[in-house]
Amino acid sequence: QPPTSGIRVNQDSYAPGLPKQATLISASATPLTWTLRSSAGAAVATGQTTPRGADAASGENVHEIDFSSYDTVGAGYTLAVGSETSFPFSISSDGLKKLRHDALAFFYHQRSGVAIDAKYVGATYARPAGHVNVPPNQGDNNVPCRSDLNCGYTLDVRGGWYDAGDHGKYVVNGGIAAWQLLNEYERALRMGDASALGDGTLAIPEQANGVPDILDEARWEVDFLLEMQVPDGRSNAGMVHHKIHDAQWTALPTRPDQDSQPRRLSPPSTAATLNMAAVAAQASRLWRTIDPAYSAKLCAAAEKAYAAAKANPIMLADPNDGTGGGTYSDNTVTDEFYWAAAELYSSTGKRTYRDDVTGSSLYRGVSFNTHGFDWSSTGALGDITLALVPNDLPVADLAAIRAAITTTADSHLAQMKSMGYPAPYRTADGSYEWGSNGLVANNGMVLALAYDFTKQDKYRDGAFQAMYYLLGRNPANYSYVSGHGDQPVRNVHHRFWAHELDPSLPTAPPGVLSGGPNSGLQDPTAARLLAGCKPQRCFVDDIQAYSVNEVAINWNSALAWLANWVAEKSSS
Ligand code: 9MR
């Protein structure tokens, strides 16, 4: 059981110059006195809490502590009310700036098909290459379709990132994760500061090749997405295989190179094809001057995929194809069509893609909602690109897309005001779902974009609140980011970072986001330990509890995007 404290704070650091809040658990109807103490124990500020009453998401009676007025940079501060004392925290931008790079470092650790080199990660995290056909490992260099499909070919699909704690590589999830890293860079270039993302900023093999490291990391995945395309001359040429993973689930722990399971390609799907088309098109404009030949190759692959998807508009992934890997099935591809058209139009300017954008039922920001976007709903990604990259769409339509972003952000802010532990996330019935932390981070991105487009402080403050929720101001009292905070997650569901099961293996490196509270309790461990939990408390830091404590590339891409943004907006 975690140590408890009745005061929940961002356990890492509060940005100087910006609002600072914490949550006290108390049924008192009247305000209580809070004291902020320095690391030496001296009272440096004091004030009154604001009683907030019963909080639905946590099931607790809470007060808000607002210590924004105190703004001296330092470490080891604590908040105290009566006999309760919080975890120590900093007032500093250092931790947030470190998080920006830690969150991106995750992706190198997840690389498949290459040894993870001690030179970049230290001896603890180094490991041999996975899935390169060194026994007992099966390689991704010669992978057949599922035996019942008889497609008559094999593909070399080495590389890419492992999706999560398992060794699957799923195009629809890998695509949105790569898109988000590329968008992190593209937004920074156009609306912020990309200098912290340049060459030499990450500990990766490409750190001195003259190309921004965030692009190098994303390319590792983009190249894999291209490899998943059905070759010319085959039926469904141009379509993209939905995923590649083990024939059977493996046990925990299993190091990638020790996985002995046969590898299988699942059939092509319209969703995967459009996902690759979108990301390859996006990448083609980012590499246009960096590597023109690569850029042209990406554009050609994207256009071929898009045409193939139009010819096969309802090739859906099998919802029962879930042995040895996640299903990632999705019945609605209107959003993937819109997203791909938006990326292709933004990169090529071609009339045909423009017509597909303006003719879509999702045009003008229809996709934004308070639930958020994920691998199954990608329309918002297209809108974000349309709002960011200059184009010749009618000014009123672009304004409508930006208005959809700010309206959604306003709706998040209105809801967060009523929450004891403010997080931009909502479902119709108040439940929390698988990967809720990823949605919180993505909705934090919407708040951040609302600030980028309007420069209104309330949106910036909301984006920071989302990050502070992830860093410990939550009823589980965990920092959901490994290595950040006084009580960070340590036992995430992962086949290599499985220290809890085998002490010779490491825990997660710093900067890894846990999936977070899931009131569906969709694994036996969560079901056993968390029965009856209130939505925001349905969390346990147990390696077996994969429905609440797994890691995933699409959640860490959301964390990385938001971390870069808050680091950029931290004043010192
Ligand atoms: O992230 C996925 C989540 O949206 C789904 O609800 C869940 C159940 O289908 O699957 C999640 O993805 C997992 C995938 O199926 C297998 N690899 C790990 C992924 C993260 O937990």
List of domains in the chain: 94-393 (1.50.10.10)
Asked if 86 and 80 count as a contact pair (C-beta separation under 8 A), the reply is yes
- Please name which of 378, 365, 377, 375 lies closest in space to residue 409, comparing C-alpha atoms: 365
Question: Does the structure show a pLDDT above 50 at 21?
Answer: yes
User: Is the Cβ–Cβ distance between 493 and 546 less than 8 Å?
Assistant: yes
pLDDT at 152: 83
Q: Is the CB of 435 under 6 A from ligand 1?
A: yes
Q: Which amino acid, residue 334?
A: T
| CB-ligand 1 contact for 268 (6 Å cutoff) | no
H helices present in 131-236, as ranges: 171-191, 213-227
**Centre of ligand 1 from the C-alpha of residue 445, in Å:** 21
Please state, in angstroms and rounded to a whole number, the distance separating the CA atoms of residues 121 and 123: 7
Q: What are phi and psi of 439, to 5 degrees?
A: -70, -40
pLDDT band at 5; cut points 50, 70, 90: confident
Q: What does the pLDDT average to over 312-340?
A: 97
On whether the CB atoms of residues 115 and 126 are closer than 8 A, the answer is yes
Q: Closest ligand 1 atom, CA of 522?
A: 8
Q: What is the DSSP letter of 208?
A: T
CA distance 255 to 508: 14
403-438 pLDDT per residue, tens: 999 999 999 999 999 999 999 999 999 999 999 999
Q: What angle do CA 198, 200, 206 make, to 5 degrees?
A: 100
Q: Is the pLDDT of residue 148 over 70?
A: no
**Of 161, 172, 189, 162, the residue nearest 381 (C-alpha):** 172
Predicted local distance difference test score (pLDDT) of residue 320: 95
- Please state the ipTM of this predicted complex: 0.95
In this prediction, what percent of the chain has a pLDDT beyond 90?
Answer: 97
> Is 246's C-beta closer than 6 angstroms to any atom of ligand 1?
no
Mean pLDDT of all residues in the chain?
97
To the nearest 10°, report the CA torsion of 253, 330, 233, 357.
Answer: -130
Question: Measured from the CB, is residue 223 less than 6 Å from ligand 1?
Answer: no
Structure confidence at residue 3 (pLDDT): 52
C-beta 163 within 6 A of ligand 1: yes
**Is the minimum distance from the CB of 438 to ligand 1 under 6 angstroms?**
no
Mutate to test the pocket of ligand 1, among 106, 112, 161, 163 (most ligand atoms within 8 A of CB): 163
Write the residue with the smallest CA distance to atom 15 of ligand 1.
326
Question: Quick one: which atom of ligand 1 is closest to the CA of 515?
Answer: 21
Pocket test for ligand 1, best of 242, 434, 548, 549 (most atoms within 8 A of CB): 434
Q: Which atom from ligand 1 is nearest to the alpha carbon of 326? A: 15
Q: Which residues of 130-151 are buried (b: 16+ CB within 10 A; e: fewer)?
A: bbbeeeebbbbeebbbeeeeeb
Q: What spacing in Å lies between the alpha carbon of 493 and ligand 1's midpoint? A: 12
CA of 326 to the centre of ligand 1 (A): 6
pLDDT, tens only, 213-238: 999 999 999 999 999 999 999 989 99
Q: Which of 484, 486, 479 has its CA nearest to residue 77? A: 486
Distance CA 8, CA 11 (A): 8
Distance CA 541, CA 543 (A): 7
User: Which tokens is 499 given?
Assistant: 């220290």
| CA-555 nearest atom, ligand 1 | 1
Distances (CA, A) of 111 to 33, 70, 162: 50, 43, 6
Positive or negative: CA dihedral 399, 401, 404, 405: negative
Count of residues for the chain? 572
pLDDT of 147 higher than 70: no
The catalytic residues are 166, 493, 541, 550
Q: Determine which of 375-379, 426-430, 453-457 has the lowest per-residue pLDDT on average.
A: 426-430
Looking at ligand 1, which residue's alpha carbon is closest to its atom 14? 326
Contacts of 158 (CB under 8 A, 6+ apart): 112, 113, 131, 132, 139, 140, 141, 224, 227
For the cut 80, the answer to whether the pLDDT of residue 4 exceeds it is no
Ligand 1, atom 7, lies closest to the CA of 434
* Partners of 37 in beta bridges: 43, 78
Q: 325 C-alpha to center of ligand 1: Å?
A: 9
Q: Which atom of ligand 1 is nearest to the CA of 165?
A: 18
Tokens of 50: 């604001």
pLDDT for 1 equals: 47
Does residue 572 carry a pLDDT above 80?
no
- What atom of ligand 1 comes closest to residue 554's alpha carbon? 1
CA dihedral 401, 406, 407, 412 (to 10 degrees): 130
For residue 266, CA distances in Å to 39, 411, 454 come to 56, 39, 44
Whether 550 is in the pocket of ligand 1, judged by its Cβ within 6 Å, is yes
What is the reported pLDDT for 62?
Answer: 97
Q: Is 446 in the pocket of ligand 1 (CB under 6 A)?
A: no
CA of 281 to the centre of ligand 1 (A): 26
234 Cα to the center of ligand 1, angstroms = 31
Listed residue (540, 544, 484, 548) closest to 512, CA to CA: 484
d(CA 58, CA 35): 24
pLDDT in tens, 232-271: 999 899 999 999 999 999 999 999 999 999 999 999 999 9
Q: Which residue has the tokens 């929450």?
A: 419
- What's the confidence (pLDDT) of residue 371? 94
Cα radius of gyration rounded to whole Å, the chain? 23
**375 CA to centre of ligand 1 in angstroms:** 10
* 81 three-state secondary structure: strand
Q: Is the per-residue pLDDT at 338 higher than 90? A: yes
Instruction: Establish whether residue 166 lines the binding site of ligand 1, counting it when its CB lies within 6 angstroms of any ligand atom.
Output: yes
User: What is the mean predicted confidence (pLDDT) over 64-70?
Assistant: 98
In this structure, the residue with its CA closest to atom 3 of ligand 1 is 434
Residue nearest to atom 1 of ligand 1 (CA): 435
**What is the CA(552)–ligand 1 centre distance, in A?**
8
Task: Take atom 19 of ligand 1 and give the residue whose Cα is closest.
Answer: 164
In 3D, which of 4, 73, 78 has the Cα closest to residue 35? 78
CA of 34 to the centre of ligand 1 (A): 41
